[in-house]
Amino acid sequence: LDRADVVCSRLLARQMTGGRVSATEALAAFKPVSACWALFDQLVPSRVLGWSDIDPLLRAALEQGQTGNASRFAAYLFGDSDMNDYRALMRDPRKWLERQQRPQTRARIELVTLALSRLARGDREQNAAYVAGTWAQAIPKQDLQWVWGQFGLVAALRVDDDAVQWYRRSGSAPMTDYNHAWQVRAELRRASISWPRVRDAILKMSASQQAEPVWVYWYGRALDADGNKTEADKYFASIDGDYSFYGQLANDALDRALTIPPEPAPVTSAELAVARADLGLRRALALFALGWRHAAVPQWNYALRGMTDRQLLAAAELADQARIFDRVINTSLRTRHLVDFKQRFVAPFEKQVARKAKLINLDVAWVYGLVRQESRFVTDARSQVGASGLMQLMPATARWVAKKIGMTGYSPLSVNDFDTNTILGTNYLNMVLQDLGGSQLLATAGYNAGPRRPMLWRSKLPGPVEGAVFAETIPFTETRLYVKHVMANATYYAMMFTGEPASLTKRLGVVAPQPDRPVNLP
């Protein structure tokens, strides 16, 4: 198993029984779970992990607002007195800085650097003047550049126009993958994109990050804008076969008609019989039948280990026959060479959902793209925040929509009922769509993050942007990924339902700035 808690436990056992664990192993395994903290608790005092290992983790945690994790990393670096200062600067960085002298030690330099970076969360112009006028000569150049990178990040996450100016002051300071990504996004969100700067920002990333489809695509766009179409097309072609948001956009950039891969040979009765006889899958199916989904899903996934593509397709077919649609999708997604879109983009309840969507002129493919992402067609799905059913409605939203459309007989207990959930969900989605000017892109973001937020993000645009830019610069990671998945799903479902080519670029459209205004939707 490659779960972080398991890997860290194994490394900890090795360390505690006289074996040697390297810093590389520990850093590669680390996730903020108890077993990994216990491992670090052993490796820091024994000096396997040192300042150069822990400090980047501290900065990365602060960068992403993980203040609890950051405090634990800080405790590895700082003594008791310096930890008191760390806590003070986290409470009020400006007040703490005004009591400080020029730092002389590594620890004091780091504390000042962290405090300066926290000023980005206040009045950036005023605090930047303070940084430049009081502290610019007091800390190493690279630390100062890192501080400016934090100013850029905070501005980018607030979709403010000044993000680019701070990033451009960050020079060649090392950045996390997270911040590198936001530097590129800040450049993309400009009224007039400087494609050479987009290209240069991507080239500052690590090789592994540059290889991600998102940055392959935008690097290709930068090359294309610079007149190097031949080279750009090579980049687009390298991800054209990726069945994802950016794979589809690369296909559009190559001016090719999007196609569905050839359907593999149907699962045979013999292959299905082997799947039915698999003890792991049988145990999982028994657990699903008992309603113990929390235990059934890990059992099912464990049973899939080492399966060939044909065996995975057979297991997915078994799940389909049992109407466990999330396992159909997730199992079929594991295949490496044989791709079955009828499994990956399974469309259960088609007639019922289509009927409800068409009653209010809602795009059925878009509804399916959204449901696939929301619940994987698990009718009784319930999220950690309390959203329920196929379309993952919050209780207050369901109650509001039921009242708005005059639904009779509604009760909170009925929200998981298939008909009730889909009626309320499609109606709410349509309300969000109409409120956001008919843009599926904005409405998808609004369905996930609330309709108020995409309206705010749109109002802060410096000018019209292509839909792909708007999607990529959504500041909430969950919503950004959600939107990209839903819109890519919808494009494939449109092809599955109609048999006609479809274009993600056209579906995304263009987003133009509009004034912010109150929203009368939950």
What is the DSSP secondary-structure string of 357-392?
Answer: HHHTT--HHHHHHHHHHHTTT-TT-B-TT--BTTTT
CA distance 99 to 6: 45
Q: What is the pLDDT of residues 177-227, one digit of tens each?
A: 999 999 999 999 999 999 999 999 999 999 999 999 999 999 999 999 999
Percent of all residues in the chain with a pLDDT value above 70, rounded to a whole number:
100
Q: What confidence score (pLDDT) does residue 1 get?
A: 54
Asked whether the predicted pLDDT for residue 280 surpasses 60, the reply is yes
**Helix ranges restricted to H, 64-105:** 67-77, 80-91, 93-97
pLDDT of residue 139: 98
Q: What's the average model confidence in pLDDT over 386-397?
A: 95
CA 378, CA 501: separation in Å to the nearest integer? 29
pTM for this prediction: 0.96
State the pLDDT confidence band at 384, using cuts at 50, 70 and 90.
Answer: confident
Rounded to whole angstroms, the Cα distance separating 273 from 245 reads 36
Residue-wise pLDDT for 20-66, tens only, equals 999 999 999 999 999 999 999 999 999 999 999 999 999 999 999 99
Mean of pLDDT values over 309-335: 99
> Could you tell me the domains of the chain?
4-169+176-189 (no CATH), 190-256 (no CATH), 269-337 (1.10.1240), 350-511 (1.10.530.10)
462 pLDDT above the threshold of 80 = yes
The predicted-structure confidence for 467-514, as pLDDT tens digits, reads as follows 999 999 999 999 999 999 999 999 999 999 999 999 999 999 999 999
CA distances 444 to 243, 359, 436, 448, 455, Å, are: 20, 20, 10, 7, 12
The string of pLDDT tens digits covering residues 123-160 is 999 999 999 999 999 999 999 999 999 999 999 999 99
Reduced to 3 states, what is the DSSP secondary structure of residue 346? coil
What does the alpha-carbon distance between residue 110 and residue 23 come to, in Å, rounded to a whole number? 22
Residue 451 CB neighbour total at 10 angstroms: 21
